[in-house]
Amino acid sequence: MLPSGHRMRRRHEFTLAVRRGYRAGRPHLVAHLLPGGNDQGNSLAGFIVSKAVGNSVVRNRVERRLRHLVRTKLDLLPPGSLLVVRANPLAAAAPSEELARDLDKALDKVLRQSAKGR
């Protein structure tokens, strides 16, 4: 479970990360990272799982799986960053190994982009 202090809850934080952050797309998900977008110091993570992914049972399962994967990656994020992970419809049927691989690649890409300052 993602610690409560690291969960993104405010709409403006989601909007800020998606509109101004660095983006990396993979077949199962898209990651948006905004370094320094949070003034509280904690890195925050939020998830977007639309109805295109499936019914409520499927969407909740996908979100739980993504939360579990992101929990282990919080240490990689710069302090105070905002991370939004948006699930694509393929995420519903994807094995956990593929979701983890896509998340790793997407995070690597957005972290490299943020380091370059693109």
Average pLDDT per block of 10 residues along the chain, 118 residues long = 84 93 95 83 92 97 95 90 95 95 96 85
Containing domain of residue 85, as a range? 4-113
Distance separating alpha carbons of residues 48 and 34, to the nearest angstrom: 16
| CATH number, domain containing residue 81 | 3.30.230.10
Flag whether 83 is in a domain: yes
Flag whether 44 is in a domain: yes
Q: In the prediction, which pLDDT does 118 show?
A: 61
- Whose CA is closest to 82, among 29, 24, 30, 6? 6
Q: In the prediction, which pLDDT does 111 show?
A: 94
Angle at alpha carbon of residue 13, lines to 8 and 14, rounded to 5°: 80
- Burial environment of residue 39 by CB neighbours within 10 A (0 to 12, 13 to 18, 19 or more): exposed
Q: In the prediction, which pLDDT does 2 show?
A: 78
- Residue 6's CB is within 10 A of a number of other CB atoms, namely 18
Q: In the prediction, which pLDDT does 86 show?
A: 97
pLDDT digits (tens, 9 = 90+) for 68-90: 999 999 889 988 899 999 999 99
Query: pTM of the full predicted structure?
Result: 0.91
Q: In the prediction, which pLDDT does 116 show?
A: 85
Q: In the prediction, which pLDDT does 58 show?
A: 97
Q: What domain count does the chain have? A: 1
Flag whether 107 is in a domain: yes
Flag whether 82 is in a domain: yes
Angle at alpha carbon of residue 101, lines to 97 and 104, rounded to 5°: 140
Tokens for 42, please give them. 């904690």
Distance separating alpha carbons of residues 54 and 90, to the nearest angstrom: 10
Flag whether 118 is in a domain: no
CA dihedral 68, 69, 74, 80 (to 10 degrees): -80
Flag whether 9 is in a domain: yes
